[in-house]
Amino acid sequence: MANPTAAMLVIGDEILSGRTRDSNMHFLAGELTKHGIDLKEVRVVSDDAPAIETAVKALSQAYYTVFTSGGIGPTHDDITADCIARAFSRPIDVREDARALLQAHYDKSGLELNHARLRMARIPDGATLIDNPVSTAPGFTIENVHVMAGVPSVFQAMVASVLPGLTGGNPLLSQTLRVNRGEGDIAATLAALAENFQDLSIGCYPFQVNGVFGANVVVRGTNGAQIDAAITRLAKELDL
């Protein structure tokens, strides 16, 4: 059976403006690969309510699970929670269990749980809280969508909280063969290989070193024996 599929929705003007480099997608892809869930699509949208709502509804319907990052903090531009609530036609308000977590955290820190910070306790009806051992403010899961912070350390902690509860498949394996020839020289060989190993993904990634062109051929799949066979055949056909 095919592995479950996933999508990611990255939310934030700071990503699209180039001010912030997103690292969450790279981390999530690696963790899902190990868990046997195939990340099939990543979308990036601005802090625009209709765009967020449209994207999350489309991704939720298309994939087994969806991860969002960004927009659940205490400031006016943190609109993700409200958008997710509208996308699923759910009321949203401060929830007492989330409030209690924040109250304990800020009491311990000697800070006030003011109106702005209390925004982080607003949770759509029926959602399940996602644990945040880094800064306490929870994310939440509603249906098949996991709503998480954009701060990388918090995002990573939330992913660790969610993944054990998701159905995984076979971890994706890969091997790489370095070929000191240009893509045009090996394209026909790779096409024939892909035709003979249709259950595998075969990618070709060119490089240039000291004016010499070459390519890294990466063979991916869930069957280690098939990958071994494909790499062995490719090396033989290219006289490597």
Q: Say whether both 131 and 209 belong to one domain.
A: no
Q: Residue 124: which pLDDT band, with cuts at 50, 70 and 90? A: very high
Q: Say whether both 141 and 178 belong to one domain.
A: no
pLDDT at residue 211 in the model: 84
Q: Say whether both 130 and 150 belong to one domain.
A: yes
Residues 6+ apart with CB under 8 A from 173: 220, 221, 222, 223, 224, 227
Task: Choose among 39, 24, 67, 23: nearest CA to 201.
Answer: 39
Tokens of 118: 């209390």
Q: Say whether both 36 and 141 belong to one domain.
A: yes
CA angle 73, 77, 79 (to 5 degrees): 70
Does residue 1 register a pLDDT over 80? Answer: no
Mean pLDDT of the chain: 95
What integer is the mean pLDDT of 77-91? Answer: 97
Burial of 204 (C-beta count, 10 Å sphere; 0-12/13-18/19+): middle
Phi-psi region of 203 (alpha: psi -120 to 50; beta: other; left: phi over 0): beta
pLDDT in tens, 55-75: 999 999 999 999 999 999 999
Distance, CA of 147 to CA of 80 (rounded, Å): 8
pLDDT in tens, 142-190: 999 999 999 999 999 999 999 999 999 988 899 999 999 999 999 999 9
Distance, CA of 46 to CA of 218 (rounded, Å): 33
Q: Which residue has the tokens 């059976």?
A: 1
The parent domain of residue 220 ranges over 173-237
Q: Say whether both 157 and 193 belong to one domain.
A: no
Q: Say whether both 10 and 81 belong to one domain.
A: yes
Instruction: Name the DSSP class of 223.
Output: -
Q: Please say whether the beta carbons of 68 and 9 come within 8 A.
A: yes
Distance, CA of 127 to CA of 82 (rounded, Å): 13
pLDDT at residue 210 in the model: 85
Instruction: Name the DSSP class of 125.
Output: T
Q: Which of 104, 138, 165 is the last residue of a domain?
A: 165
pLDDT at residue 212 in the model: 84
Say how many domains are in the chain.
Answer: 2
Torsion 62-67-68-72 (CA) sign? positive
Distance, CA of 226 to CA of 78 (rounded, Å): 47
Q: Say whether both 203 and 103 belong to one domain.
A: no
pLDDT at residue 2 in the model: 85
Domain with residue 69: its CATH number is: 3.40.980.10
Q: Say whether both 185 and 225 belong to one domain.
A: yes
Q: Say whether both 218 and 123 belong to one domain.
A: no
**Do you know the residue count of the chain?**
240
Domain with residue 195: its CATH number is: 3.30.70.600
Burial of 32 (C-beta count, 10 Å sphere; 0-12/13-18/19+): buried
pLDDT in tens, 179-224: 999 999 999 999 999 999 999 999 999 999 888 899 999 999 989 9
Q: Say whether both 103 and 188 belong to one domain.
A: no
Strand order in the sheet with 128-130: 38-45, 5-11, 65-69, 145-148, 139-142, 128-130
Q: Residue 240: which pLDDT band, with cuts at 50, 70 and 90? A: confident
